[in-house]
Amino acid sequence: MGPIQTFVVDGLTHEAKGVARLQGKVTFIEGALPGETVEAQVKKAGRRFDEAVLVNIVEPSAYRVEPSCQHFNVCGGCSFQHLADEQQLNAKSDWLKGQLRNLITTQELEQLSDKPNGYRRRARISVDFKKGRMGFGFRGKASSEIISIEQCVVLTPNLQKVFLSLKHALLKSDLVEALGHVELLEDTKGVSVLLRLTSSISDEHEKAWEDWAERQLVALYWQAPKVSKASVAPEKMRYYELSDLRLKYHPQDFIQVNATMNQKMVAQAMDWLSLDKHDVVLDLFCGVGNFSLPLALHAQSVIGVEVQDTMVEAARENARANGLENLSFVAADLTQPVNSEFFEQAITKVLLDPPRAGALEFLDSIIKIGPTQILYVSCNASTLARDAEYLVAKGYRVLRVSLMDMFPQTSHVETMMLLQKKK
């Protein structure tokens, strides 16, 4: 560790590290904010930049606030709790504008946000058991070690309650020795807990936990050792509501983690696409139909594409159960050439919501389909920028972009971009 030195911070990285320059060399300081004078110690000196540890804040930023979570300084789950909510959004917005600099020079970046805490309806809790002590929480900021958590304020209030009772019950049980991790989930059906086992447990042990779940009014799921997904009886499948629609899913299927922001995001997608009964829409990476079903309420027809067969099956059932007949679903891997009926239909609009890797492999197919509008929903601004630049080079222009603050307090940013085919 180097000597304690004074730094004037003038920037903020995407991961909320303060950026300072000392004798021309850039130093990243975790926990420091722009406008602050701080004392810090270099812990890692590199050729291009150094990384330093904050020792003391000499002059704090006017936007520094007390973190709402007692674990913020050590837990790796959040990175922005020391910055006022509005400034968090501004920082994310500046960063996003930088990522999209080749695409949105003249456009205003729109914003969609909601409450900063109590929003997370799903969480994976790491569990370990070393030297007779249980670790129950999230990975640390500075290391991959599990930080034991008492209360996680970004979880929904109901998940915060079950987090605590589960932790206390585990402390009194030896189940922890057979546990890999725990998944907490809240949806319209209620709260559920999934226990991922690393070794088998006795029937009596299982029964005792079923009784615990009944007393807590939570649904319990077991994921047996060495299987990739819990086996779930049809009547134990989960569901969430989206306006008047009900979407069924397996407790380990993808769903958007922030229910209120999801409502707002889907409503914004419908607004931007302003569909009519002539529109035939392709919904790529459709999951269990989060966008496909609302799209089908406004369009002539919708085709959803998803790689996981079980999710495609759930999406089909969701369409049936909601009385929608203008929807079809295809199971396909969109990173591979898709030989399909998509090209035979006159598709007017495409919505895509890929995982972090983006959708580069499928862009030529979209261009071949030639929709008038493409609505791109992305959880990774750098792959979004790459893909959108490609689409722009092939005859599309960016009409609107919105930052959607789906994960407040963290550095993750969700973006929606509408592209229009040039005449």
Ligand X SMILES: C[S@@+](CC[C@H](N)C(=O)[O-])C[C@H]1O[C@@H](n2cnc3c(N)ncnc32)[C@H](O)[C@@H]1O
Annotated binding residues: 69, 75, 78, 152, 256, 285, 290, 306, 333, 353
Indicate which of ligand SF4, ligand X, none lies near residue 75 (CB less than 5 to 8 Å, by partner kind). Answer: ligand SF4
Helix-strand-coil percent breakdown of the chain, rounded to 5? 25, 35, 40
Binding site feature residues for [4Fe-4S] cluster? 69, 75, 78, 152
The residues that touch ligand SF4, with contacts defined as CB under 6 A, are 69, 71-72, 75, 77-78, 138, 149, 152-154, 409
Containing 234, the helix (H) or strand (E) segment is none
* Nearest distance in Å: CB 181, ligand SF4: 15
Indicate which of ligand SF4, ligand X, none lies near residue 96 (CB less than 5 to 8 Å, by partner kind). Answer: none
Closest residue to ligand SF4, Cβ-based? Answer: 77
Could you give the string, one character per residue 345-384, with x where binding to ligand X holds by CB under 6 A and - elsewhere? --------xxx-----------------------------
Residues 292-321 that bind ligand X (CB under 6 A): 306-308, 311
Query: What is the Cα–Cα distance from 204 to 190, expressed in whole angstroms?
Result: 26
> Taking the mean position of all CA atoms in its chain, how far away is CA 352?
16
Residues 240-269 that bind ligand X (CB under 6 A): 254-256
Which of these segments, 162-170, 232-240, 274-282, 286-294, binds ligand X (CB under 6 A)? 286-294
Which CB, 72 or 376, lies closer to ligand SF4? 72
Strands (E), 234-385: 238-242, 245-249, 280-284, 301-306, 327-331, 349-352, 373-378
Q: Which two tokens stand for residue 299?
A: 């369009």
Which CB, 126 or 252, lies closer to ligand X? 252
Catalytically annotated residue among 9, 379, 406, 418: 379
Query: Which residue, among 285, 290, 293, 294, has the nearest Cα to 406 in the 3D structure?
Result: 290
108: how many CB neighbours lie within 10 A of its CB?
10
Containing 206, the helix (H) or strand (E) segment is helix 203-216
Can residue 334 be called a binding residue for ligand X (CB under 6 A)? yes
* Nearest distance in Å: CB 145, ligand X: 29
The verdict on whether 379 is a catalytic residue reads yes
Which three-class secondary structure state does DSSP give residue 338? coil
Biggest CA pair distance of the chain: 69
Length of the chain: 423
Could you give the string, one character per residue 7-26, with x where binding to ligand X holds by CB under 6 A and - elsewhere? --------------------
Burial of 102 (0-12, 13-18, 19+ CB in 10 A): exposed
Query: Which residue, among 119, 194, 185, 184, has the nearest Cα to 157 in the 3D structure?
Result: 119
* Nearest distance in Å: CB 310, ligand SF4: 29
Backbone angles phi, psi at 234, to 5 degrees: -50, -40
Can residue 335 be called a binding residue for ligand X (CB under 6 A)? yes
Q: Which residues in this chain contact ligand X in the complex, by CB under 6 A?
A: 254-256, 285-287, 290-291, 306-308, 311, 333-335, 353-355
